[in-house]
Amino acid sequence: MSPYYIAIIMLIQLAVAPGSVLCRQKHGQEVAEPPTYIFFDETPVVSLTGWRTAWGDSLAWADSAYDDSGWELAQGSGLWVSDGWAGKGIRWYRKAIFFPEALDTLSSLALYQVAAVSANEIYWDGRLVARNGTVAESREGEICGVSGQVFPVPRKQTFAGRHVIAVRQSNHHTFSGIIAPPLQLGTFNSLQTSLFRQGALSLFLAGIFVITALFHIAVLLGHANKWTYALFSAFCLSCAAYLIIHSWLRYFQVDLGLYYTIAAINDIPWFFMMSLLPVFFLFEFSAPRRLVLSLCIMAETLCIVLTPRLIMSGLLPVGWLEPFDWLNRVHSIISIVISIFICLWAIRRKRIGSLTVIIGLCIFLAGAYVSYRARLENGWAVGFAFLIIVITISLSRQMAARNREYQETQLRSARLELELLKRHIQPHFLLNSLNSIVAWLEEQPQTAARLVNALAEELRMLLAFSGKTTVSLAEEVQLCRAHLQVMSLRQDKQFSFEVTGGEGNERIPPLILHTLVENGLTHGYKGRNTGVFSLRCERDGATLRLELFNDSSIDTTAAQRIEGTGLRYVRTRLEEAYPGGWELRTGPSRGGWLVFIGIKKAVT
Amino acid sequence: MKVLIVEDEKVAARRLMRLVQEILGEKVESLECRESLDDAEQYIEKHPIDVMLLDLNLSGESGFRLLQKAVASSFQTIIVSANTDRAIQAYEYGVLDFVPKPFEKERLMRAFERLEKTGRSAAGESAQVLVVRNQGRLQIIPIEQVHYLKGAGDYAEVHLRDGSLTLHSKSLEALERILPAHFSRTHKSYIVDMRDVVAVRVHGGGKYELELRDGKLLPLSRSRYKELSERLHKA
């Protein structure tokens, strides 16, 4: 088995590292290895460590009486053979154990062999008790075993006293010759239960990840058009996929000949797990240069994940395996540390939800530590499950806040709509117009008729506009002209509206020019008999630029005063139709007043 | 009669001018029109007027500030406006009449009648505050704080219940027309809140006095004596 994959497993189990270090110290280079004492009522499942091993093949080596003191002592606990032991061929392992007490009459013992790319025969006191695959001298003859096997030991052989377990193994199908992990010995029931628990926990956690991913996809499709949800879903799905493949390999009976293929496939979710978490945070908190940073993170992760595979396929020198192996091992820690840094930055910038997420990351670390202490196989996943729940809560809260905001905008615009209709079709406007009609009737009935017609035209257009988000520029101009006609006749002045540029089919929010024209009329034409409003329309791709100029003799302070309801209405309307994609500037301009409106993505 | 029209719409202003001319006929001493209250003030500085026909946009805050300025002045104010929903508030500030737009000639005529009638006008609405100019600033006095008013030439002294005194630019005659019904002209020079009167004192030689709740004695004209004593006996 590749050290690369070992590394991943070790990393995932948070390396079980202190244990292995301890064992190294304990087993050192002892001369006479005393048998390991096992009390099954205290520890129903024991990982057997401290094997003596030798290359070669002889059935005599299975004999419990054989003197193996000349054999080398295998270092480490997690690996059968560690540094310097790489090699392919047949070799034997021997291990002496001692039961001080007889098993209770209802129990029987069993051996469990975790996934290892090899073929094995297991001897118990010289007798063959298990065969997993076909041990052979050559790669052609060797048939790899299957993973997740539990081998019962005949009960009559498990009397109290000393026993020797010998394993005859060939490993031609491994890549580097190094294989992992140890045999476990325990009562049959305990072994089954412990395997079931670990498998169930993995699948349970995978379920949480899948459900969370589905929830976020549903949210993405249903409500928020925010693709950080997609990122987060992808992250959750990667975790789920990784867990499922991993536990499938460990607890279900998989032909170990496929081991490398499956492990290579599992690199894909592993890659996304490592890279998507910091990328998600970058986008969630809108960090500067997030796209570049994300690409960097992904490229770096890809490089570290891919290199061992390239080494195994012979494209890169084998010597590189060791450092990349180590990098891979620490990479999950790197990605968590990067995430924490991003969150700390987000907290300083007071980003919404950043505090919740950092709490989530702390819970993740705590969860990982607790499960490491509890020696849970997939402890990291427990931590991740906590983390994604916290992030989900945070995202939901943000979504609720956005919903509220949206509803408020809706309400506000509904109110403005009403306010506007009230301002134009309200009695005040009508009554003043009627008053002027009465005046004209007495003075000049034909003009009264013209005023009635102009008023009718304006009212018709106002009614047609209500409830629309955008109208065509041509319609809006027509409304402005109708209004200016009404006001011209009411005030017995000459107001005109000129348009240059534009095709008329440009879309703008309704009544914004009308409101600006009204603002222009309110002040600035005192004692004058004519007034000119000119609209310049410019289109540059999707960008629409409108300049409304009027030749009012307005003084700046008066203009500041009328920056009231009218302009607020215009701004709200623009924001509603083109969120974040518009600008509005007003100010005095050569001999008049100029309003500039820029719309970035005008729909035509 | 000196009339000033404040109306920013030319057509409406022309009609007002025409109608005022028709209604007052020979009585018109001067008839002018201005587009805004600011312009009107410049005119008033040099030319005293009796009445202002004011079109104000009363829908905002600024409209009412201008209204206060107008009602604090010596002349009477008649509002001619389309903001009919603000009519009651305008009355409370002490305008003589509120003519809603659009209007007929007869309605404007009635407003001018109110102007010339002595005593309180018939309309139910009356001022709830007095707006006075105090050291250049406009001060709003709730009518409840007013004790009695005393004529002082073209001005009126407004005596408040807390004993303080302030001046109003309007004459007693003008104020009488806009004050609530419980204010009564008791003497050529006095308007009193009748709810404060506790007794009528008759002195020899045709001299009458009103005794107020706080013990103050104010002169009462003979012509008002009979009417008032009856009213007091009933109560």
Q: Which tens digits make up the pLDDT trace of A485-501?
A: 999 999 889 999 999 98
What pLDDT shows up at residue A541? Answer: 80
Helix or strand holding residue B220 (H, E):
strand B217-220
**Would you place residue A379 in the very low, low, confident or very high pLDDT band (cuts 50, 70, 90)?**
low
Set of chain B residues whose Cβ sits within 8 Å of the Cβ of A431: 82, 84, 100-102
Over residues B80-89, the pLDDT tens digits come to 988 888 888 8
What pLDDT shows up at residue A38? Answer: 85
Question: How far apart are alpha carbons A94 and A47 in whole angstroms?
Answer: 14
Give the minimum alpha-carbon distance from A446 to chain B in angstroms, rounded to a whole number: 14
What pLDDT shows up at residue B121? Answer: 54
Compute the average pLDDT of residues A313-337. Answer: 76
What pLDDT shows up at residue A18? Answer: 34
**Would you place residue B56 in the very low, low, confident or very high pLDDT band (cuts 50, 70, 90)?**
confident
Which is nearest to A51 in space by CA: A82, A21, A9, A11? Answer: A82
* A145-149, A234-238, A562-566: least confidently modelled range: A562-566
The answer to whether B15 contacts A490, with C-beta atoms less than 8 Å apart, is no
What pLDDT shows up at residue A61? Answer: 92
Question: How far apart are alpha carbons A368 and A391 in whole angstroms?
Answer: 17
For chain A, which residues lie within 8 Å of any Cβ of chain B, measuring from their own Cβ? 427-428, 431-432, 434-440, 442-443, 489-493, 526-527
What pLDDT shows up at residue A144? Answer: 87
Over residues A336-348, the pLDDT tens digits come to 888 888 888 988 8
What pLDDT shows up at residue A576? Answer: 79
Residues above pLDDT 90, as percent of chain A = 22
Does the pLDDT value for residue A556 go beyond 70? Answer: no
The answer to whether B101 contacts A435, with C-beta atoms less than 8 Å apart, is yes
Question: How far apart are alpha carbons A223 and A246 in whole angstroms?
Answer: 34
What pLDDT shows up at residue A7? Answer: 38
Set of chain A residues whose Cβ sits within 8 Å of the Cβ of B8: 491, 526
In the chain, the amino acid numbered A27 is H
In this prediction the ipTM stands at 0.80
Closest Cβ opposite residue B11 in set A427, A431, A439: A439
Question: How far apart are alpha carbons A498 and A486 in whole angstroms?
Answer: 16
Give the minimum alpha-carbon distance from A442 to chain B in angstroms, rounded to a whole number: 8
Does the pLDDT value for residue A416 go beyond 80? Answer: no
* CB environment A226-263: b (16+ within 10 A), e (fewer): bebbbbbbbbbbbbbbbbbbbbbbbbeebebeebbebb
Mean residue pLDDT of chain A comes to 81
Query: How many C-beta atoms surround the C-beta of residue A180 within 10 A?
Result: 24
